[in-house]
């Protein structure tokens, strides 16, 4: 009896020790199916259960991809509330794409009420981590006072950062920013055509 119970305890202990490697493997396989990497053809349906397993284990990249699956209905029924849950989970780990995605959700009211202040907070965190799309959207937020006090100086700073990294919308917004300084008529005409970056762009 002693030998059997000892053997069982050893087996349980080994299983517990193997969990981190199993979760890493789930994350790896899920990403391969999601992106169509290696010998695995792209399949969101196959990717989703692996990504969800890794996401529940705390892997931030998998958490963001699970959010994308729920946001776009990839391998699972579309559910923006659940998508935002996973974007926020990954954002808590400073995953810059997830920060951007959470910002978009609050910016456009996807799965939650619109909150320019929360959108601004997420964009700013992602922008500081180097996310180009967030830098562009942060510049627009400063320009139009979306969730923050308007600041032409800060708008220029962040739009230039994004433009220097090749973001076409940031370049467009910089041109409009210069047009706005030409007078109230030009400024009023330019305002509706400011471009923010969305995740599918």
Instruction: Return the CATH superfamily for domain 95-201.
Output: Tetratricopeptide repeat domain (1.25.40.10)
Query: How does pLDDT run across 182-199, given as a tens digit for each residue?
Result: 544 333 333 333 455 555
Distance, CA of 130 to chain centre: 13
Mean pLDDT, the chain, rounded, equals 86
Q: Which residues make up the CATH 1.25.40.10 domain(s) of the chain? A: 1-93, 95-201
Distance, CA of 118 to chain centre: 14
Distance CA 194, CA 171 (A): 11
Q: What is the mean pLDDT of residues 152-168?
A: 94
Question: Among 1.10.1040.10, 3.30.70.100, 1.25.40.10, 3.40.50.1370, what is the CATH number of 1-93?
Answer: 1.25.40.10
Tokens of 199: 């995740």
Confidence category of residue 178, pLDDT binned at 50, 70, 90 = confident
Q: What is the mean pLDDT of residues 142-160?
A: 95
Give me the pLDDT at residue 40, please: 96
Chain length of the chain: 201
Above pLDDT 70, what percent of the chain?
A: 80
The backbone region for 50, taken as left when phi is positive above 0, alpha when psi lies in -120 to 50, beta otherwise, is alpha
């Amino acid at each position: 009896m002693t030998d059997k119970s000892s053997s069982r305890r050893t087996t349980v202990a080994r299983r517990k020790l193997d969990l981190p490697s199993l979760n890493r493997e789930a994350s790896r396989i899920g990403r391969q199916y999601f992106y169509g990497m290696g010998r695995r053809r792209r399949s969101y349906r196959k990717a989703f259960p692996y990504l969800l397993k890794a996401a529940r284990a705390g892997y931030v990249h998998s958490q963001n991809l699970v959010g994308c699956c729920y946001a776009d209905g990839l391998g699972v029924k579309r559910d923006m509330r659940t998508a935002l849950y996973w974007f926020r989970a990954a954002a808590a780990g400073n995953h810059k794409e997830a920060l951007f995605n959470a910002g978009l959700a609050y910016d456009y009211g996807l799965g939650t009420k619109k909150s320019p202040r929360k959108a601004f907070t997420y964009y700013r965190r992602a922008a500081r981590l180097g996310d180009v799309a967030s830098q562009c959207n942060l510049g627009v937020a400063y320009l139009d006072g979306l969730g923050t006090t308007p600041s032409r100086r800060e708008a220029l700073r962040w739009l230039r950062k994004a433009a220097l990294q090749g973001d076409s919308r940031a370049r467009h917004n910089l041109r409009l920013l210069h047009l706005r300084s030409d007078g109230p008529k030009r400024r009023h005409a330019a305002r509706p055509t400011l471009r923010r970056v969305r995740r599918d762009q």
